[in-house]
């Protein structure tokens, strides 16, 4: 029996629970994509599914709306998969365990995937209901690739704040820096130092919230120990998604002797200072028996520490036009050690020139250290449109339902509206959604009452278009 069967709107939460039953992390959305395709075909709706799993579903207009401009409803199928260390889940195969706590819906120790599963659920509910009033519809579900389509107006349901209509966003790119690692054998005490429990968060919308980056904090803590105390670096890792601020990181090293009370005191002092901004942070040390093992050469280790000290991270510039808006930033989201040390960054800016300047800094720094630079997944900024019929209609409908005007916002995060607008010049786009909290973290939750209000609002907007 469905946990959410009594929640309103029933049709939306029925689909949302079905979505949560399927694994759908990034690059693992085939089951959910196929689910949507089967849904469309069973209802006789025109559907096109490409090899990547992107889907377009068309629904004819209601009677009397046949000559109205087509409306695109868009959301993405993939979710960010993060979990607490003690949670046993295989995101490649398992669905989520849902928990309901009053008005808040969340998953048991994992991300909920409300970003963007609730958009998919709402769009499916619109497609499923034959009694709704609406213009011709094209529903676009995207995965990890760009897709072009026809249409006149686009409603993106990938925002996380009720009462805020997003009308612009930053562009971005994923940057990967790879530093070759030279090793040598040394003898000592193998140690693993782990930092966990940080707040984390979305690397766009929360990049200026002051949350610590676990990778950078641990690197700053360990560097002087290696330089002055003879500790030999063996491996570093942290983070899981380049668009999430890392909550945990680990450094493996070889100590000349078993770390003593001085080392422990240094850990306690550093952790106490960290607790001022990260109250749930933990720092643990594990040691093994003396052995021979491979470690970074001192020259390679010094290159690593120098990179950590010189590579930028966080907010680079604030907008001169919009008070409080981040213009340019980057986030070191993933660090991994294999044959090389690999840094994965999410770079964002509402100015293409600033984005190019920032990626040039990354490229110069890694090449100077003898490494390589690569880019992937570039997406354009979505520029604010001064004249927007869609925005005007949505403001009027919002005012009628809520009794006050919504906030019109531009965000420092990527939305598919930027890609759609670049493919279809002149496309009128707005992004909206219900209240979601702590997205991209295991604390993520969704307001049930906000979903109900947002659903009613969406239906009224479609009727007004």
Which tokens sit at 154? 């686009």
> What average pLDDT is seen over the chain?
93
What are the pLDDT digits (tens) for 325-358? 999 999 999 999 988 999 999 999 998 899 999 9
Residue 60 has pLDDT above 60, yes or no: yes
Backbone angles phi, psi at 243, to 5 degrees: -100, 15
Which tokens sit at 144? 């990890």
Is the Cβ–Cβ distance between 420 and 72 less than 8 Å? yes
What are the pLDDT digits (tens) for 211-258? 999 999 999 999 999 998 789 999 999 998 888 999 999 999 999 999
Catalytic annotation, pick one of 17, 78, 327, 460: 78
Task: Please state the rounded mean pLDDT for residues 18-44.
Answer: 96
| pLDDT (0 to 100) of residue 149 | 29
What are the pLDDT digits (tens) for 267-284? 999 999 999 999 999 999
Backbone angles phi, psi at 226, to 5 degrees: -75, -40
pLDDT band at 152 (very low <50, low <70, confident <90, very high): very low
| pLDDT (0 to 100) of residue 160 | 86
Is the Cβ–Cβ distance between 106 and 446 less than 8 Å? yes
> How open is the CA angle 6-119-167, to the nearest 5 degrees?
135
Task: Please state the rounded mean pLDDT for residues 390-406.
Answer: 97
What are the pLDDT digits (tens) for 199-222? 999 898 899 999 999 999 999 999
Which of the pair, 153 or 421, is modelled with greater confidence?
Answer: 421
| pLDDT (0 to 100) of residue 2 | 79
User: What is the pTM assigned to this prediction?
Assistant: 0.75
Q: Tell me if residue 184 is catalytic.
A: no
Burial status of residue 264 (CB atoms within 10 A of its CB: 0-12, 13-18, 19 or more): exposed
Q: Tell me if residue 145 is catalytic.
A: yes
| pLDDT (0 to 100) of residue 416 | 83
- The residue with tokens 């930027």 is 418
Is the Cβ–Cβ distance between 140 and 350 less than 8 Å? no
pLDDT band at 153 (very low <50, low <70, confident <90, very high): low
Question: Is the bond into 116 cis (omega within 30 degrees of 0)?
Answer: yes
Catalytic annotation, pick one of 145, 292, 309, 405: 145
Q: How far apart are CA 246 and CA 196, in angstroms?
A: 9
| pLDDT (0 to 100) of residue 144 | 65
Residue 147 has pLDDT above 60, yes or no: no
Q: How far apart are CA 214 and CA 241, in angstroms?
A: 13
Longest CA span, the chain: 81
């Amino acid at each position: 029996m469905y946990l959410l069967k009594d929640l309103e709107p029933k049709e939306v939460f029925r689909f949302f629970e079905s979505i949560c039953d399927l694994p759908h992390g990034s690059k693992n959305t085939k089951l959910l994509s196929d689910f949507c395709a089967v849904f469309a075909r069973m209802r006789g709706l025109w559907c096109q599914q490409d090899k990547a799993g992107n889907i377009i579903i068309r629904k004819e207009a209601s009677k009397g709306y046949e000559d109205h401009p087509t409306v695109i409803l868009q959301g993405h199928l993939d979710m960010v998969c993060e979990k607490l260390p003690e949670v046993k889940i295989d995101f490649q195969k398992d669905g989520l365990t849902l928990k309901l706590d009053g008005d808040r819906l969340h998953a048991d120790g994992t991300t909920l995937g409300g970003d963007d599963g609730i958009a998919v659920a709402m769009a499916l509910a619109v497609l499923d209901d034959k009694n709704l009033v609406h213009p011709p519809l094209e529903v676009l579900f995207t995965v990890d690739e760009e897709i072009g389509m026809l249409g006149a107006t686009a409603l993106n349901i990938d925002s996380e704040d009720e009462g805020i209509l997003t009308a612009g966003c930053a562009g971005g790119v994923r940057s990967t820096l790879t530093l070759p690692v030279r090793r040598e054998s040394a003898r000592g005490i193998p140690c693993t130092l782990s930092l966990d429990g940080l707040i984390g968060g979305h690397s766009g919308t929360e990049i200026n919230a002051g949350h610590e980056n676990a990778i950078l904090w641990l690197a700053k803590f360990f560097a002087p120990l290696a330089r002055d105390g003879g500790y030999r670096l063996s491996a570093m890792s942290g983070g899981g998604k380049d668009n999430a601020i890392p909550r945990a990181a680990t450094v493996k090293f070889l100590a000349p002797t078993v770390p003593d009370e001085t080392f422990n005191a240094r850990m306690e002092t550093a952790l106490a200072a960290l607790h001022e901004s990260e109250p749930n942070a933990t720092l643990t040390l594990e040691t093994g028996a003396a052995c021979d093992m491979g470690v970074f050469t001192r020259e390679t280790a010094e290159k690593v520490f120098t990179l950590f000290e010189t590579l930028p991270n966080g907010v680079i510039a604030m907008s001169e036009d919009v008070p409080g808006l981040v213009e340019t930033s980057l986030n070191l989201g993933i660090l991994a050690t294999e044959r090389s040390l690999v840094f994965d960054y999410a770079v964002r800016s509402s100015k293409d020139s600033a984005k190019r300047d920032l990626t040039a800094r990354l490229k110069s720094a890694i090449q100077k250290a003898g490494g390589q630079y690569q880019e992937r997944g570039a997406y354009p900024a979505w520029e604010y449109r001064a004249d927007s019929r869609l925005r005007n209609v949505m403001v009027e409908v919002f005012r009628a339902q809520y009794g006050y005007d919504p906030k019109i916002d531009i965000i420092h995060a990527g939305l598919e509206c930027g890609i759609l607008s670049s493919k279809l010049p002149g496309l009128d786009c707005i992004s909206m959604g219900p209240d979601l909290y702590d997205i991209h973290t295991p604390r993520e939750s969704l307001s049930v009452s906000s979903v109900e209000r947002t659903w009613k609002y969406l239906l009224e907007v479609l009727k007004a278009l």
